Chains A and B, each alone.
Chain A
Amino acid sequence: MFYRLSGVRHNSYASDSKMFNIPADRNATVFFLLLGLAAPFVIPSLYLNSYVLPWLIWTAAALGLNLVTGWAGQLHLGYAAVMAVGAYSAVHAAKFGVPWEFALLIGGLASSVIGSLFAFTALRVKGLYLALTTLAMQFVMDWVLTHSPAIAGGSHASLQAPTFALLGQKITSDAGLYYVAFGWCVLVTIFMLNLKRTGLGRALVAVREKDFAAAILGVNSFYYKVVAFAASAFIAGITGALLVATFYFLAAPEQFTVSVSIQVLAMVIIGGLGSIIGSYFGAALILLMPGVVNQIFGWLANMLGLELGIETFAHIPNAAYGALIIIFLMVEPLGLGKLYANIRDYLMIWPFDQLKK
């Protein structure tokens, strides 16, 4: 939207590879980390578990997709399918009696295997064609879930998840479930924050910018594409499993349909491709928006004395969700993350000059 020639310049590799370029960012991160830890004591549990918890889990999901789409530049329209693999394998494993820690791991690994299948498509094609193949794979997964009662859990096509437990302790309290989601989200965030400082992250970016140019530089683009898909699928798998274990409590095929894939992609793009803080913003916006829009429309209808049908109310959030995507791509294609960085850079020139030091 607006660009300013300002920001942070690096004079050494050491400063370039710092986790936080700006001390203020680090301080803010520590502040929000503490806030996250204190949240159960501050926020009423109703809000905590119906807003904050899903937000954190979806943020982790968005970060995982960001790894493959934002960093490695590989389009992925079948992310929800990969999440489904993790969720179903973990829940089945847990039902079988495997402790949840290992069930999660099994889910993540199963997702990695399926996710690597997606990667093999990426080795052959890219761009639009990759998007179409992953989309088709998503449809195959939808089909498998709805047509195999053994996986989806009988004729009702829903699978009750066993009570979540860690280290033998059953976790049922609102705060406990929240801390699980919070912990996972922090873990993924730390991984992503460190990614850009490592050779892996730089290799992924090289592959994104031009894969054959990267190959000429000695970056094995085949290998890194598979790694990106597998790593992102691992995150997706565990996130999917946690989503079922701590939020939905039962797994159903419609939790992982193509529209969910599109939703996660929308979070990533609205947040900003490759932006970590953007994924937090994007997930928040996409999750909160339908409720807020409905409230606004209800209020407007009241104000104007209009009678809006139930059906109209049911579909307005969808229209607003679409409009949100359209408007964001039109106004700031680089997403909320970029918007945040712009404002921060602007304020760092004046009046918060000292924060740079």
Chain B
Amino acid sequence: MDWIFLSELTVNGALTGLLYSLVAIGLVLIYKSSAVPNLAQGALTMTGAYVVLAFSHNLGWPLWVAIPLAAVIMFLLGMGIERVALRRLAGRPIVMILMMTMGIDIFLRGTTLAIWGGSSRSVNLGVSYDPFFLGDMLLSRIHIVGAAVAIALFVGFLLFFRTRLGIRLRAISDDYLASWSIGISVERGVGLSWGLASVVAVATGVIWGEVQGVDQSLSVLLLKGLTVAVLGGLDSIVGAIVAGIILGILESVGADFLDPFVGGGSRDLIVAAVLILTVMIRPHGLFGRHDIERV
């Protein structure tokens, strides 16, 4: 194995990993504020991409109108989901909350496909498919764009959590009752985080829709996003970025080593293994703060 190939695998892996971070950031936003593991984030991503397509392809509007409009609609959808479905489950056992997000996942996927159909379509962002040469390495342009979006979101959220609104959201994630006692509206904060996560889902959907086409497979990103989020610590945005890069590299280099032995497709196996090992060895992840209750 030559070094150029290995470094190409590494860099491409890291870029793909940052795209997984996009999904993870959405998960982290919701988990941070309300401790709800949103298993519907994959379906939200898919819905976001379809809504963008509905404006840009079905109505023929330019993307710079379609994407912000979709972001607004998804923001409202996210807030609505929290308001209607999740709020009344507060304090219920985690199994019911998980089932609820799975129900939302199934519902969103079913509805989206029933309305727009399952055939794969492309967003046509206008990013060239020609590879980008970095020295001798071949890189995909859309992956670079996606990684840049992930980094931008990361920086944006880092700054956001230092604003007054951001501090209030962090206060909510620390202690509900204390937040209420000083006049912070916990419900609105949690709703806001669902809205933000849904906006992130639009960005994720557009990028991934460009990478692999807009279809049902977008919702399968959930497992990778979930693994990244858990590896990074479910409530850490920094963790989501770092873990994304780690998982991406592990997956790309590892798959290259393993595939010849198992006959291909070992990427999913690596992801599942990382998830299991993380939970077994360090459940709170690399940067997570909640030490989970052990028996």
Contacts and interface: CB of A to CB of B under 8 A. Distances in A.
B275 A309 contact: no
Contacts of A133: 275-276, 279-280
A333 B89 contact: yes
Contacts of B85: 326, 329-330
A318 B272 contact: no
A322 B89 contact: no
Chain A at the B interface: SS class: helix
Contacts of A73: 93
Contact of B94 (A127, A222, A325): A127
B113 A143 contact: no
B103 interface: yes
A140 B273 contact: yes
A184 B92 CA distance: 33
B295 A221 contact: yes
B102 interface: yes
Nearest to B89: A329
Interface string A56-93: 00000000000001000101010000000000000000
Given A139-B223, A143-B265, A143-B268, A125 B102 contact: no
B117 interface: yes
Interface residues of B, number: 49
A325 B263 CA distance: 38
A128 B98 contact: yes
A123 B275 CA distance: 17
Interface string B76-106: 0000000011001100111110111011111
A311 B103 contact: no
A128 B279 CA distance: 10
B86 to A, nearest CB: 10
B225 interface: no
B113 A325 contact: no
A75 B273 contact: no
A136 B275 contact: yes
B226 interface: yes
Interface stretch (A28-36, A171-179, A262-270, A348-356): A262-270
A158 interface: no
B49 interface: no
B1 interface: no
Interface residues of A, number: 51
Nearest to B35: A128
A292 B292 CA distance: 43
Q: Is the interface of B mostly helix, strand, loop or mixed?
A: helix
B130 interface: no
B265 A129 contact: no
B94 A318 contact: no
B269 interface: yes
A137 interface: yes
Nearest to B293: A126
A136 B278 CA distance: 11
Contact of A211 (B88, B93, B102, B295): B295
Nearest to B276: A136
A327 B165 CA distance: 32
A7 to B, nearest CB: 22
A146 B107 CA distance: 27
Given A75-B98, A309-B117, A330-B88, A143 B107 contact: no
B131 interface: no
A132 B226 contact: yes
Nearest to B281: A124
A26 interface: no
Given A137-B272, A316-B110, 8 more contacts: A128-B37, A131-B94, A143-B268, A269-B95, A312-B117, A325-B99, A325-B102, A333-B96
16 contacts: A73-B93, A75-B98, A124-B280, A132-B226, A135-B223, A136-B276, A139-B268, A147-B265, A311-B114, A312-B114, A315-B110, A315-B118, A319-B114, A322-B107, A325-B107, A326-B104
Can you list the 3 inter-chain pairs with the closest CB atoms, starting with the nearest? A322-B107, A325-B103, A319-B110
